[in-house]
Amino acid sequence: MEDIDAIEQLPGVGPATAEKLIDAGFTDLMSIAVSSPQMLAEMADIGVNSAVKIIAAARKQADIGGFETGDVIMEKRKLVGKVTTGSEALDELMGGGFETQAITELFGEFGSGKTQIGHQIAVNTTKPVEDGGLDATVIFIDTENTFRPERIIQMSEGQGLDPAEVLSKIRVARAFNSHHQMLLAEKAQGVAKEHGVRCLVVDSLTAHFRAEYVGRGALADRQQKLNKHMHDLIRFSDLFNAMVIVTNQVMSKPDAFFGDPTRPIGGHIVGHAATFRIYLRKSKGQKRIARLIDSPNLPEGEAVFSVVEEGVID
Ligand code: ADP
Ligand code: MG
């Protein structure tokens, strides 16, 4: 709310402009301060000249931050937490497990194991640190109605964990459309402050967006909304030293815009926002292959794992 008040009080911003800005996803001074005039003008449907003035005013008030020395960044890196996936091969591919302060994108065709890994990381995040967890609460935003407490119970029992305790540490919200999904991601911050959340799963990140914004004409709008959503998720991972896991289905038929049928939905917007991108594909039976295709500090590579009743294993 303070953020919204601050926007309304910017010089040159009347109530109507404030509403346009907030509607377009500019809900704090920082998001305005770092925007380009063209982008702000287009997204909030205001004149470029007003946008220039509003950005200048926001820059005066927002703390844009400065440069940090490498050793300060290294101190922050030391706080990175890792969660085991349950598969040694997959952990090794990821440099010891999934990381906090990062967005990990799992993309692949239907049945490739995206939701299973989401469940497994949720269970494992609740475990003590010495057992490869973060002893923390998880938020799970479920957009396809595929969250199954039964799977959480099986995966917990598979490791000798108390299923009731694990379930009590996973907070699930069903998102009914993309707008709802975005609101839930914002609301997650409040929950995280209260409950010590270190993991946020959004499964699926893109399904609603894909279903709702159909055709070429809707693409710009879709990408704009996705961009805002991704930035909220990045902020979440930063604020709470949390891992954010998003799932993304590859397109089964060529996309009007991106063409390539094996490309994940959301294109460059999701790709640039993700720290790690893992491409999953089915192999024989329970076997799945994970390919790390983008990482700031790890080599590309592949790992074979399995999905069984007890969860993700080698
Ligand atoms: P998606 O990538 O579409 O999210 P999932 O992660 O839901 O796919 O993977 C579904 C697959 O997980 C199933 O086809 C099955 O191979 C496996 N799976 C799901 N539940 C179980 C279970 N209880 N026991 C063993 N394997 C399971
Ligand atoms: Mg799924």
pLDDT in tens, 91-121: 999 999 999 999 999 999 999 999 999 999 9
From ligand 2's centre to the CA of 50, what distance in Å? Answer: 44
The highest-confidence range among 126-130, 235-239, 260-264, by mean pLDDT, is: 126-130
Q: pLDDT averaged over the chain?
A: 91
CA distances from 62 to 10, 58, 65, 139, 291 (A): 11, 6, 9, 29, 40
Q: Which atom of ligand 1 is nearest to the CA of 106?
A: 2
Report the 10 Å Cβ neighbour count for 135.
Answer: 15
Name 203's bridge partners: 142
Substitution candidate for ligand 1 out of 146, 307, 313 with most atoms within 8 A of CB: 307
1 pLDDT more than 70: no
What mean pLDDT do residues 76-105 have?
Answer: 96
Q: Virtual CA dihedral for 92, 98, 103, 105, nearest 10 degrees?
A: 60
Q: What per-residue confidence (pLDDT) applies to 250?
A: 84
Tell which residue, 136, 147, 114, has the closest CA to residue 197.
136
Stated pTM of the model: 0.84
Substitution candidate for ligand 1 out of 106, 110, 116 with most atoms within 8 A of CB: 116
Residue whose CA is at the smallest distance from ligand 1 atom 17: 307
Strand ranges (DSSP E) for 192-241?
Answer: 197-203
The interaxial angle of helices 37-44 and 48-61, nearest 10 deg, is 110
From ligand 1's centre to the CA of 61, what distance in Å? Answer: 49
- Nearest listed ligand to the Cα of residue 280: 1
Q: What residues are in contact with ligand 1 under a 6 Å CB criterion? A: 108, 110-116, 154, 307-309
Distance separating alpha carbons of residues 245 and 102, to the nearest angstrom: 8
Residue 82 three-state SS = strand
- Nearest listed ligand to the Cα of residue 285: 1
Domains parsed from the chain with CATH numbers: 2-62 (1.10.150.20), 76-313 (3.40.50.300)
From ligand 1's centre to the CA of 50, what distance in Å? Answer: 52
Q: What per-residue confidence (pLDDT) applies to 260?
A: 54
pLDDT by residue (tens digit) across 251-277? Answer: 655 555 444 555 666 667 888 889 999
Residue whose CA is at the smallest distance from ligand 1 atom 7: 115
Contact indicator for 260, 254 with CB cutoff of 8 Å: yes
Q: Which atom of ligand 1 is nearest to the CA of 286?
A: 16
Q: What per-residue confidence (pLDDT) applies to 294?
A: 85
